[in-house]
Structure 1
Amino acid sequence: MKKYIFKLLGIFTVGLFSLLVIGLFISGFFVVSDLPRSEVADKYSNQNSMFITLENGSTVHIRDEGNPNGEVLVLLHGFGMSLHVWEKWVAELGDTYRLISFDWPGYGLSTPIRDGTYSRNEMTDYLVSVLDWMNIDKSVLVGHSMGGEIAMNYIVDYPEKVQALVLISATGLKIDRSDKSPRTLELTKYPGMSTALRYITPYDTVKNAVITSYGSEAFVNKELVDRYYELMLNSTNRDVFIKRIKQMFLDEPLDARIGRLNHPTLLIWGEEDQMVGLKYAKRLRSIILSARLVSYQGVGHMPMDVLPKVTAKDLTNFLNSEVFQ
């Protein structure tokens, strides 16, 4: 009986909170306006930035950097992020490899897909379109978080186009029921909350999310938080943010789909990852029998950005020993 009462109280509290937030939204309180795309692009593009338009209507922000004659590494960023998370790796690896990174549609400086749903399969098709445009026939696919999930989906469909797979804190496996979903994901399940979240984006909420991702405030500064915040507010990016969250509940886990992979695979993980725990890396290693796991103490969800030299060296050792002998 007590359990039932507590459940009712919980539902009532969430409902009351939803009404409060919607009321604040309607009144204009806490509403944060989008930033002009041109203004954000001026700040966060550089001399290596290219902008190309695909048939799906999206204009893609791409960087093609490093050694033009080197083996190709395609770098796929994660949910709520941008290609900027790879800048330290580009500095570390650019003398040896050709490094291609891009913003997913509605992330960073790329524009949304026309009538996009942002399902895993649609994002995989987006990757296909980008690689076709770049004339990349074969590459090492490196995916972080959501990027790793899309990389796994891609390699199952196009195994001949991938020389090796590198998964960094990758999502995509079946989530344990005991895991606590991020608060923002849970809120989108309630009526009206998606609309409210589209317009209410407090700076401190983004800051706390960045600190959680990076594992410690010691790895985070104002410039980093500003970048995440301003790219989140870039034109219609928040619309895509909400749509992708909803798709996370609809996409089927990849556990069974990736069971036959036999490509050389490196798993890079932070042992204190609060977003995608180390247990998922161990599960991936048990599913992909060719996978090798490297983990780092005291590191959260962003090992390549927090430990660029160490992780780049581990990546290079893997490629030299298992891929480009």
Structure 2
Amino acid sequence: MEGHTIKGIEQVGNIDIYFEYDQINDSFPTLVLLHGFLSSSFSFRKLVPYLIQDFNVISIDLPPFGQSGKAYRYTYSFQNIAKSVVQFLEGKNIRQFSIIGHSMGGQVSLQLIKSHPDLVEHAILLAGSGYQPSYSEKMKMISYLPFFSFGIKRYLQKSGIEKNLKNVVHNQAMIDDEMRQGYLEPFIKNHDIFRALGRMLRDKEVDLLEEDLYSIQTPCLLVWGRHDNVVPLKIGERLHRDLPNSKLAVLENSGHLLPEEKPEEVYHLIKEFLRTPTIQT
């Protein structure tokens, strides 16, 4: 099969999963792309054209983001989101793959690797978040209050798309209308996402601890921007210490949104990494 692209939504358990699957060649290995918080598969739009030269690529909108479901009854813990990703891939008969997780997608990736180490051949964490606690019990209780979802919406509106984008990129001149609209659109269409974010606040578990990370033997490439204001480089350095089979690459003149800021450089790092049979720590 050559150059076959599929886009769609499939129900997995009690949630809908939106995906974009570029199946270029049956002989190519498969990459699974998981985006960050308040984002979607849109954030990989500049990286995918490079990746499909060598890989079959499937991008997934993690619930409740992008075009995936925002059901209030779904459990939005990273562990359960990872479980849903695995179930979705099993439905596509994808049982061996490498994973790319950006920011929050890195947290989900680590949960997936921890629970299903046999499925993931390699992991690439692009400014992957880590070491975060769960929210306080007080905050979780507040999230049950009526109209809490409107408070989340107001907070995000007040911070504004422009401010948020300027915080995640180093070169602010790259921000254009396509970028603004792509990140803003999912939050305009459906108020249910704000209700789901309240549920996500309650469901978030403590990130994997040092002993959990140390038990992960999957080869991991950690890619960080030197000027990341969201997940600073010190997190990448700490993950590099705690993940025994990891390599850290730092990109200059870049911030947090690596798939958009440095797609070609990220592609070459990934390609080289996946060609290397072993990693020297």
1:238 paired residue among 176, 189, 194: 194
With normalisation by structure 1, the TM-score equals 0.75
Matched AA of 2:162: K
Residue equivalent to 2:41: 83
Distance in 2 (CA, whole Å) between partners of 1:231 and 1:86 is 16
Contact 2:130/2:235 (8 A) holds in 1: no
> CA 1:243/1:112 → structure 2, altered by over 3 Å: closer, same or farther?
same
Alignment of 1:285-324 (within 5 A): 285-322=240-277
Matched AA of 1:88: K
How many residue pairs were aligned? 265
Residue equivalent to 1:195: 149
Residue equivalent to 1:106: 64
Matched AA of 1:269: W
> CA 1:218/1:189 → structure 2, altered by over 3 Å: closer, same or farther?
farther
Superposed CA deviations along residues 204-249 of structure 1, whole A, max 9, x for unmatched, are: 612211221123422211221122111122312222233324444x
SS, match of residue 68 in structure 2: coil
Runs of 5+ consecutive residues of structure 1 not aligned to the other structure:
1-46, 176-180
Distance in 1 (CA, whole Å) between partners of 2:158 and 2:144 is 23
Structure number with the higher strand fraction is 2
Superposed CA deviations along residues 140-160 of structure 1, whole A, max 9, x for unmatched, are: 011111111011011111111
Shift in Å, 1:59? 2.0
Matched AA of 2:43: V
1:120 paired residue among 62, 71, 78: 78
Shift in Å, 1:93? 1.4
SS, match of residue 149 in structure 1: helix
Fraction of identical pairs, as percent: 22
1:159 counterpart = 2:135: no
Residue equivalent to 1:207: 162
> CA 1:52/1:307 → structure 2, altered by over 3 Å: closer, same or farther?
same
1:49 counterpart = 2:4: no
Could you list the structure 1 runs, at least 4 aligned residues long, displaced by more than 3 angstroms after superposition.
188-196, 245-248
Larger Rg: 1
Matched AA of 1:253: D
SS, match of residue 196 in structure 2: helix
Contact 1:165/1:264 (8 A) holds in 2: yes
Distance in 2 (CA, whole Å) between partners of 1:199 and 1:294 is 36
Contact 1:117/1:244 (8 A) holds in 2: yes
Runs of 5+ consecutive residues of structure 2 not aligned to the other structure:
none
Distance in 2 (CA, whole Å) between partners of 1:220 and 1:97 is 28
> CA 1:271/1:194 → structure 2, altered by over 3 Å: closer, same or farther?
farther
Structure number with the higher helix fraction is 1
Distance in 2 (CA, whole Å) between partners of 1:292 and 1:76 is 20
1:269 paired residue among 224, 228, 233: 224
Alignment of 1:248-287 (within 5 A): 248=204, 251-255=205-209, 256-287=211-242
Distance in 2 (CA, whole Å) between partners of 1:161 and 1:195 is 36
SS, match of residue 159 in structure 1: coil
1:135 counterpart = 2:93: yes
